[in-house]
Homo-oligomer: A and B are copies of this chain.
Amino acid sequence: MRFGSAVLIFVWLMVGPWLSDARAAADREALLTEPSVYGTFAVFALDEGWAKQDPAMRIVRLTSLKGVVEQHREHVTIDLYLLRGLSDHADLLFRIHAAELRQTQEFLLDLKSSQLGKHLKTVGIMHGLTKKPNYVPGFSDQMKTDLKTLSEPGQNPYAIVIPIKKSAEWWGLDQEKRAAMMQEHTAATLPYLKTVKRKLYHASGLDDLDFITYFETSKLEDFHRLVLSLEQVQEFQYTRRFGNPTILGTVKSVDEIVELLAQ
């Protein structure tokens, strides 16, 4: 039921090689690891007209996605996730990192104006900012070492995005109390450092959120246990919104998205 490779080779030739530029890859590394980078999570649903397009037309429209991504890759990094079948009312998630939100806006404007964009309904947009990890003074050296542990290499097919809003009471606590609770929170995550990759974005003022938490894992059951642990630390009492929505999808390349949505 998949489209033949002949069609995909045709698409490849039309758009040109993907991810072949070493310099761009270097920028990507910086945007994904440095502080003061803006991370945007843009969730889209395919409109009702999409299912009625014939497959050849869908290929043409999906090809425009490759073009737009290619055109903006010098300024922003773009990661793609398939939400369809796992999340409500949404089909695609774009995670975009940029030094300035203007660059993200320019990418999303071009995406919306593209042949595919005419079929994309914007379900939600969230913005956050990366910061240097804030190791609480009370953290032991062992804990700091553990936190630098890299998660296991290899494919982490599942990605989960959980938006978080703390209560006003949380922000009213003095700094030491919050730090002590964050230490307990962090300790609860240690058993899952190897199997669940995490990234934190600070969102206050950029959105109706305080944090956006991003996870990748190949073991969803471990991720479930991690969340259960986090629900049981004291800091969780000060969380007003956790999810709503929880966004669950699978990591995909642009080519995989083109192939899957062409069906």
Instruction: Spot the interface stretch: A4-12, A16-24, A133-141, A218-226.
Output: A218-226
A83-133 contacts to B, CB under 8 A, are: 84-89, 100-102, 104-110, 112-113, 117-118, 122-125, 127, 129
Per the bound structure, the CA–CA distance linking A100 and B219 in Å amounts to: 9
Contact B101 A158 (CB under 8 A): yes
A228 to chain B, nearest CB (A): 5
30 example contacts (A-B, Cβ-Cβ < 8 A) are as follows: A1-B110, A36-B221, A82-B105, A84-B108, A84-B109, A84-B112, A85-B107, A85-B125, A86-B125, A88-B125, A101-B248, A102-B158, A102-B250, A105-B250, A127-B248, A129-B220, A160-B205, A162-B205, A168-B237, A171-B231, A171-B232, A171-B236, A172-B232, A204-B224, A204-B227, A205-B227, A205-B228, A208-B244, A208-B245, A210-B231
Task: Classify the secondary structure of A's interface with B.
Answer: mixed
Cβ of A202: which chain B residues have Cβ within 8 Å of it?
224, 228
Chain B CB within 10 Å, residue with most, of A38, A117, A232, A239: A232
Query: Among residues 131 to 178 in chain A, which have CB atoms less than 8 Å away from a CB atom of chain B?
Result: 157-158, 160, 162, 168-169, 171-172
Q: Is A54 an interface residue (CB 8 A)?
A: no
**A220 lies within 8 A of B101 (CB):** yes
Docked-complex contact B113 and A86, CB < 8 angstroms = no
Enumerate chain B residues within 8 angstroms of A102, measured Cβ to Cβ.
Answer: 157-158, 250
Bound-state Cα–Cα, A129 to B239, Å: 24
Cross-chain contact of A205 among B36, B171, B246 (Cβ < 8 A): B246
CB proximity to B under 8 Å, residues A2-49:
36, 38, 47-48
By the criterion CB–CB under 8 Å, are B205 and A236 in contact? no
